[in-house]
Structure 1
Amino acid sequence: MKEFHKICLTTLAAVLSWTGAEACTNFIVTKGASTDGSVMVTYAADSHQLYGCLYHTPGGRFRPGSMLRVEEWDTGRYLGDIAQVPSTFSTVGNMNEHSLIIAETTFGGRSELADSTGGIDYGSLIYITLQRARTAREAIRTIAELANAYGYVSGGESFSIADPNEAWIMELIGKGCKLDADGTNTRRGIVWVARRIPDGYVSGHANQARITTFPKNDPENCLYAPDVVSFAREMGYYDGPEEEFSFADAYAPADFGALRGCEARVWAFFRTVAEGMDRYEDYAMGYNPKNRMPLWVKPAQQVAPKQLFDCMRDHYEGTKMDMTKDLGAGGHACPYRWRPMYFEVDGTEYCNERATATQQTGFWFVAQARPQLPDDMGILWFGVDDAATSCLTPIYCSTTEVPACFREDDGSMLDWSPTSAFWLFNRVTNFAYMRYDAISADIRRVVDAWENGCLEEIKRQDAALTDKAKARRKKLTAYSVRKAGELFDRWQTLDRYLLLKYVDGNVKSEHGTVLEYLDNPSPAHFVDNGTGKQIPDRIQFPGYNEAWKRAVAADNGEVLKVVETK
């Protein structure tokens, strides 16, 4: 998160500040690019303040004149009331009952374009639109209508918008403040552009605007605000030919941080699924902004759901930015660097990497809209905390009940709860950060077994479900709730196992694997000394990795050196 300062002076001459979840990641896979024909969108809601839980709003019918209260998603600040529509759809997380998916990443953009008088923020745009739109195109229109009608209070946003047939990127930013004599903002609204990702391709965005030039006469594949170019000219952001206008360059010019901390995450995804992406390494590292990466790429092979799950767990492994390799990873290859992102030594500024997987994730998901099935059988694969050491569980988009462990009213960032999945996963993951190389490997064995098992189970369930809509949704809800409860119970057992095995920096020897322990927790799983007193035997002391030992020797070797006593 970082401060995005509004410069619009109100009648009180106050300068307001906005705090947004400016640290998220979206990857998008079209149906022709996926192994199972689904449209997939990923999202990591990364914030140091966001509590990881699953939102649910039931559909409803409303009387004429009904109003809807709008509160800023990040802060809870009341923004005002807007007109309610006659009927709304049921939503769970960032998906509605018709398999419409909306996710976002914040790029901020030009600070002078924030509107402190706005009545709707980016988070409310997502969740209100999910209640009102059935398709991606309807969602794009709804977002633009809401922002233009009530004023947009947030900074620049990239939205992933998908339904069972199409996937789009929509980028938007406000118009700032220009008050008339009555104090009304005459610039209310947004400028925006949306591009449909060609079928068979993948795309992504991560806190940097990515749409550059775009066709002006192809409404099947590109939609945009009528003043998107003229407003840039009015503000002095662009003075070139119409056909060369670039949304990203006009409204969110990229600097080193935007490339290294944002575009690099998209590059890491692209290089995992597509060929030839190393040619853009200098762009991703912030060294060559002219070597711009494309908005979408064609994968070498169709992308499987599990592969996409794992792309959200990336730390630049296998690249020059690999976060497990340098001295900052400590003696146990921990791929995390605590904030701030930048530091200075002897007048030279350096950066810590910002990978796709990060410690401050509130929740994350991989959503699947599946055109071969009824719309209410879309799946929100949902998880909380750091994607690299947490697990996804299937939540059907038409579920009418939130699993107990994901409820909004169970705990908060200031209130630990023993029944909250967010706090359970955080406890396990923060323990893993201490000895990451060993502990994370055990966690990943559990993650892979769970997710692969669920994927196979879903296939069987899809084939067996022949009920009509009402009965089907009841079964889908029951399944979603049951699987989340099973995952919570399994993670509680994993929590105990990891403490038993790795307490005090030691490693207990085992007779089996972590998966065998989870299936049958017992002291007999660990090696004892044979006395019947449950005293461990063959305890291992793995120490630190070679790079760390050499660094310590170089730093303090003269003090630590062992010498022969004469």
Structure 2
Amino acid sequence: MKDKTTSSLLSSALPRYMIRILAIFLTATLLRGTASAEPLRLPPMPKNAACTTTIVTPGASSDGSMLVSHSDDNDLGDQSIVFVPARDWPEGSLRPVYASAVAVGDQPQFNAFLVPRLVDKNRAPGYANPGNAPSIPIGHIPQAVHTYAYIDGNYGIMNEHGLMFGECTDGAFISNGPEPGKRIFYSAELSRVALERCRTAREAVALMGQLIETYGYYGTGETLPVADGKEAWIMEMAPSPEGTGGLWVAQRVPDGHFWVAANEFRIRDLVPGNPDQMWGKSLMGVIERAGWRSPKDASLPVDWLVSVSHGEYNHPYYSLRRVWRALSLAAPSAGLPAWVESGSTRAYPFSIRPDRKMNVEDVKRIHRDHYEGTEFDLTKGVAAGPFGSPERYLGPYDPHGDVGDPKAVLNGAWERPISMYYTGYVYICQWKPHLPAPLAGTLWLALDRPAESVFVPLTVGPLPKGYEKGDTRAFSRDSAWWSYNLVGNYAQLKYSYMIRDIQARAALNEAEGVRIQDTLEDELAELASSAPHQAAAQRNQRFNAYAEAVRADWGKLFEFLVAKYAQGFVNTPDKMAQTVGYPQEWLDKTDYSHGPARGYAKDGK
């Protein structure tokens, strides 16, 4: 149950929220306090804001690291990566819970917007966001006496003790909004509370499950991979049809396995007594009362995916193609099929043992993928243009809705790759459990789309100021994100040429980042034992300095690309204005051969 202080506080604030909610949603649904009330059903959200997330367990990694990755494909949302410091709090204090616009869009009644995602200088200096109205809490929960330091994005990322999160949004039967006193948590705030209070993945899953059941869950279907240095769990959640509480399940990733999710629930059969699974105490009763249980035969295990969702959203293979691709890159010998019978296929295992031990470079490769070398290669074909761009810009004719939903519109579709033009940032959390804590954790961060960006190493500590500034509403030279975005956007002018320059520069910078990481592990080993805080501070300063150097180098790369490819030529200091034109295979698909070179008569005859 909610504590009396929290309930009283929510009750006293409710009239102010009621007025704003009525003005925005034009519905009285939010005013009903009973659990049986029909939940608010929001219009379908644009499905561009969708992510890919992976886990490499220690037994599957080449150096015993736990790796957790996440691409935040956020349609020009808030790209700020923010350091939240550790804090001590007075006994009896309350923690505000804020609305997440990434769940259901801008919510002016709570001053919750995609940009900036949060305005609360008490949460972190990086969230001061002067000039913007302070965020309004949906509710409060009792505050912990001490909260841990962590790195935050649109979802929680990694804390000082090596607790790590990824995320992806999933289709679900219900998508609803927050309501004070009934539904105050979305996965974003759940992950942050867990990072503030937990050291292990099991603790985090248990805490988030308790918060869902006590305070209610709103938003979309969600998958949260959560791992520590030794163990990884996948937690999935969806709004409840009863308007309060929420539905959640969790499953452990076996050590020695690789796991991936891409906007579709990945947990299937729920087996009572399975020590590698957990789920909410109300789950079975709720799906039975809603008539959602699948299969209907009570003697068979509940299929979580089918019981709470249509499976994929947007279009067939929007999710499954990425799952197939990532699993196939990790384990080509598995021979997984690219084509399946439906979105609820059993063709792709929950996790897979890779053919060889994986490392950070393998995960980067996965996140930079456009199906190169497969039948789905997006750098090929007419749509790739003359210079092989993998980008496929979406518009009003593209699919929306869930695949199994009869209201879904499917006029055609592009393949959905892992690296997308609307990717805001990608990170790979790495924790080396064999090292002392001050040296064990590294956050490899690439701002903007990963295929045209570079991964820099950071720690759970104060960040370079430019990396905490990710406002996409106006170009700013103070923002690191804009520095990387310039290169990613400019590359589309002559992609097949520029991508080679970009990849070469990224490889050099990333190799130097690994060298610095290795050097510091040796140089600071003794200090990490005798003075751990001092070792952590020195490592943080060194990584931050390198991140700033890489950002500056990326600015120079942009200038280099502008000069080298000016006016459509290829230019070098010793040979300017090299005329390269268009590839013959592309010209053959145009009306080039019917141009005026055939003669002066009509049609060249």
1:542 aligns with 2:580: yes
- State the 1:72 CA deviation: 2.2
1:437 aligns with 2:496: yes
Q: Give the Cα separation in 1 of the matches to 2:240 and 2:433.
A: 37
Q: Give the Cα separation in 1 of the matches to 2:256 and 2:518.
A: 23
Q: 1:112 to 1:453 in 2, by over 3 A?
A: closer
Q: 1:156 aligns with which of 211, 221, 244?
A: 221
Supply the AA of the counterpart residue of 1:328: A
User: Which aligned pairs between 1:58-207 and structure 2 lie closer than 5 A?
Assistant: 58-74=85-101, 75=106, 77=112, 78=136, 79-93=138-152, 94-111=157-174, 116=179, 117-178=182-243, 188-207=244-263
- State the 1:541 CA deviation: 1.7
2:547 aligns with 484
1:9 aligns with 29
Q: Give the Cα separation in 2 of the matches to 1:450 and 1:341.
A: 39
Q: Give the Cα separation in 2 of the matches to 1:192 and 1:498.
A: 48
- Deviation string 1:530-556 (CA, Å, 9 cap, x unpaired) is xxxxxxx35322222233211113xx6
Q: Give the Cα separation in 2 of the matches to 1:429 and 1:342.
A: 25
Alignment size in residue pairs: 517
1:25 aligns with 52
Q: Give the Cα separation in 2 of the matches to 1:538 and 1:417.
A: 32
Q: Decide whether the 8 Å contact of 1:120 with 1:153 is kept in 2.
A: yes
Structure 2 residue ranges without an equivalent (≥5) = 1-24, 33-37, 113-135, 400-408
1:266 aligns with 323
Q: Decide whether the 8 Å contact of 2:54 with 2:166 is kept in 1.
A: no
1:501 aligns with 2:564: yes
Q: Give the Cα separation in 1 of the matches to 2:428 and 2:99.
A: 24
- What secondary structure does 2:30 align onto? coil
Per mean C-alpha deviation after superposition, the further-off stretch among 465-474 and 87-96 is 465-474
- Deviation string 1:22-60 (CA, Å, 9 cap, x unpaired) is 411101100010011101011011111313221111111
Q: 1:8 to 1:59 in 2, by over 3 A?
A: farther
- Deviation string 1:117-154 (CA, Å, 9 cap, x unpaired) is 41122211112211111110111011112222221121
1:304 aligns with 2:359: yes
User: Which aligned pairs between 1:317-466 and structure 2 lie closer than 5 A?
Assistant: 317-340=372-395, 343=398, 349-376=411-438, 377-397=440-460, 399=461, 401-407=462-468, 410=469, 412-465=471-524, 466=526
- State the 1:115 CA deviation: 6.0
Q: Give the Cα separation in 2 of the matches to 1:51 and 1:562.
A: 54
Per mean C-alpha deviation after superposition, the further-off stretch among 158-167 and 289-298 is 289-298
Q: Decide whether the 8 Å contact of 1:60 with 1:89 is kept in 2.
A: yes
1:562 aligns with 598
2:267 aligns with 211
1:530 aligns with none
Supply the AA of the counterpart residue of 1:143: M
Q: Give the Cα separation in 1 of the matches to 2:284 and 2:491.
A: 49
- State the 1:382 CA deviation: 1.0
Q: Give the Cα separation in 2 of the matches to 1:431 and 1:336.
A: 13
Q: Decide whether the 8 Å contact of 2:42 with 2:176 is kept in 1.
A: no
Supply the AA of the counterpart residue of 1:390: S
Q: Give the Cα separation in 1 of the matches to 2:280 and 2:299.
A: 14
- Deviation string 1:450-500 (CA, Å, 9 cap, x unpaired) is 112211221121122121211111112211211111111111111111111
Q: 2:66 aligns with which of 39, 61, 66?
A: 39
Q: 1:65 to 1:17 in 2, by over 3 A?
A: farther
Q: 1:112 to 1:19 in 2, by over 3 A?
A: closer
- Deviation string 1:282-326 (CA, Å, 9 cap, x unpaired) is 03xx76754531111110000121121121100011222111112
- What secondary structure does 2:515 align onto? helix
Aligned-pair identity (%):
26
Structure 1 residue ranges without an equivalent (≥5) = 179-187, 510-525, 528-536
- Deviation string 1:199-231 (CA, Å, 9 cap, x unpaired) is 111001011001111332133x21111333332
Q: 1:7 to 1:319 in 2, by over 3 A?
A: farther
1:513 aligns with none
1:52 aligns with 79
Q: Give the Cα separation in 1 of the matches to 2:41 and 2:534.
A: 53
Q: 1:341 to 1:168 in 2, by over 3 A?
A: farther
Per mean C-alpha deviation after superposition, the further-off stretch among 20-29 and 110-119 is 110-119
Q: Give the Cα separation in 1 of the matches to 2:345 and 2:63.
A: 36
Supply the AA of the counterpart residue of 2:326: F
TM-score, normalised to structure 2, is: 0.80
- What secondary structure does 2:286 align onto? helix
Q: 2:303 aligns with which of 246, 259, 272?
A: 246
2:277 aligns with 222
TM-score, normalised to structure 1, is: 0.86
Q: Decide whether the 8 Å contact of 2:186 with 2:219 is kept in 1.
A: yes
Q: Give the Cα separation in 2 of the matches to 1:8 and 1:373.
A: 55
Q: Decide whether the 8 Å contact of 2:571 with 2:577 is kept in 1.
A: yes
